[in-house]
Amino acid sequence: MDEEKPPPNQGQFRMPDPALVSRTMSEVAERGQRIVSDFLKRQSEEGGGNASADPLNIGSAFLEMTTRMMANPAHLVQAQLGFWQDYLTLWQNTARRMMGDQVDPVISEDPRDRRFKDEAWRENEVFDFIRQSYLLSARFCQNLAGSVDGLDEKTAQKVDFYTRQFVDAMSPSNFLMTNPEVLRRTAETGGENLLKGLSHLLADLDRGKGKLRIRMTDDAKFRVGENIAVSPGKVVFQNDLMQLIQYAPTTETVLKRPLLVFPPWINKFYILDLRPKNSFVRWATEQGHTVFMASWVNPDESLADKGFDDYMRDGVYAALDAIEKATGEKEVNAIGYCLGGTLLATTLAHMTAKKDDRVKTATYFVTMTDFEQAGELGVFIDEEQLGALEDKMQKRGYLEGREMATTFNMLRANDLIWSFVVNNYLMGQDPFPFDLLYWNDDSTRMPAKMHSFYLRRMYQQNDLVKPGGIEMLGEPIDLRKIKVPTYMISTREDHIAPWKSTYRGTQIYGGPVRFVLAASGHIAGVVNPPEGGKYSHWINEQLPPDPDGWFAGATELAGSWWPDWQRWITAQSKERVPARVPGSGALPAIEDAPGSYVKVMATD
């Protein structure tokens, strides 16, 4: 009798569980039908059929680039010859490697590029060829798009940005058949990773009601007020726009001047109170500050007519009045984070005009006031896009939080989009529970009137930096008249508020200014507790007009910038008083921190 032969590939490629296949296909049919039905219904209700085919106004930018490129065919031919010469060298090197020779790579990725971290990208000749051919093509596309003469700055920036988006999307790491890590996983699981990835994809489409909303973290693991945003305190004041939280003291005496923090209302405040070990709120109370935090409302259509001046009146001014009632103190130290810092600076200029001197020091976390060089966010600020955005906001009364989050994620697409596509859909892995990504996904809306004003008058027209260019609550705004001591912290890898743009504030404010530059980006560089021992910072007492000149003369110091800020803030006033208990003053406690406003989720 012939010996029974094992099934083909047994032990090499495991077949998926038939029950899992059946269950997944059933889910695809049921869930897919519902998603498509819901999506078409929403499109019909929102008039999606009348939407522009090019809402981001990309086509005209690339048409202009192509026209100018073709006007100089010699430059195009020269670039193509260089590209094909590199490609030929790569072919030759690959052939030599297959014959056992050692050869140097024609091109290497940035050491920080995590897409090609798997060793198979270098050890296997085929995947090494795929990797290098992609890198050569990416460099060719970006160099060609960036070398076209005659484009205005805005068009050139848009072409560069969307060329990079295309190049990133085409990375071989994003596709099953060209990613060795995914192929290995598929062989190990018998394809169950792809079935599970399909389930993840359907769930994310369901979550976004027909639009892909990639799940970045296991959000079931987090509860605001239970395991994040847990610093004890009380809400002592609230109005339509804000709840004001007073945190419980952790020292017997506290600095006489309370500390008032204004986070951006683009995101929620608890980035400054994620967990005790990285909470700025916890750390500040341990340094003896009575911390008050503005927790902004997540607006709906009823707040569509709230403007920037409302955030001044019902935010900064209302908080100052409430703190005086709660503590008896008129003088405060104030912090503004990103858009919250822009609000603080605008209000301080208004207060100067009104001879209101209650804010004695101003600290700005990664804050722009001069928007002339706003970085890559400027790609989204042109007349066509603003008009389309305003039409959309007019119908809803607000900007959907998910749309703002997608814009920010595009600035770091490989880290915040494509890495999750690979992990969730190709590798079939569940998202890792990560508090920072949970916060990042907890998006907030923006009132239509306020957001239109912010984008047009500040980003597009840069009126805030012009003396009297903006009028608020009956007063012309002139940032140059602000005389309070100012501390500015920016971060070197910030994609949202580029540090060379924020540095311009050092040449605007009329009082003494200290500028500090931290390593890392918009969030990690700011939320960097001393205990973590991460990320250095640079200091320079001189403030030359040119940011590069400042950096050339700066001294790099290890670790967090928080202690430097504490030394600076206490140098302004060291007077201490007995610790204040939230709710014990003229303002009784309304509810426990973190309050109810922060728990309102944005829904798409």
Q: What domains lie within the chain, and their CATH numbers?
A: 56-190 (no CATH), 233-384+387-399+445-599 (3.40.50.1820)
Closest CA to 271 of 561, 496, 527: 527
Residue segments in the chain with a per-residue pLDDT below the cut of 50: 1-11, 13, 48-51, 603-604
pLDDT of residue 25: 57
In single-letter form, the type of residue at position 442 comes to D
pTM of the complete model = 0.86
**Has 338 been annotated as catalytic?**
yes
Report pLDDT for 36: 59
- pLDDT single digits (tens) 342-394: 999 999 999 999 999 999 999 999 999 999 988 888 888 888 889 888 998 98
Q: What is the pLDDT of residue 39?
A: 54
Distance CA 44, CA 128 (A): 47
Annotate 141-162 with b (16+ C-beta within 10 A) or e (fewer): bbebbeebeebeeebbbbbbbb
Interstrand relation of 259-262 and 291-296 (parallel, antiparallel or unpaired): parallel
Q: How many CA atoms lie within 13 A of 529 on its CB side?
A: 18
> Dihedral of CA 30/36/38/39: which sign?
positive
The catalytically annotated residue of 242, 255, 260, 338 is 338
pLDDT of residue 324: 97
Core vs surface per residue 563-595: b (16+ CB within 10 A) or e:
ebbbeebbeeeeeeeeebebbebebeebeebbb
The amino acid that residue 536 corresponds to is: S
Give the residue among 451, 445, 455, 436 at the shortest CA–CA distance from 526: 436
pLDDT score recorded for residue 364 = 98
Write phi, then psi, for 540 (nearest 5 degrees).
Answer: -160, 120
What's the pLDDT at 382? 84
What percentage of the chain reaches a pLDDT higher than 90? 61
Using CA atoms, how far apart are residues 359 and 494, in angstroms rounded to an integer?
27
Do the beta carbons of residue 572 and residue 360 sit within 8 Å?
yes
Please give the sequence-ordered ranges of beta strands (E in DSSP) within 134-276, or none if there are none. Answer: 233-238, 242-247, 253-255, 259-262
Q: Establish whether the linkage from the previous residue to 172 is cis, with ω within 30° of 0.
A: no
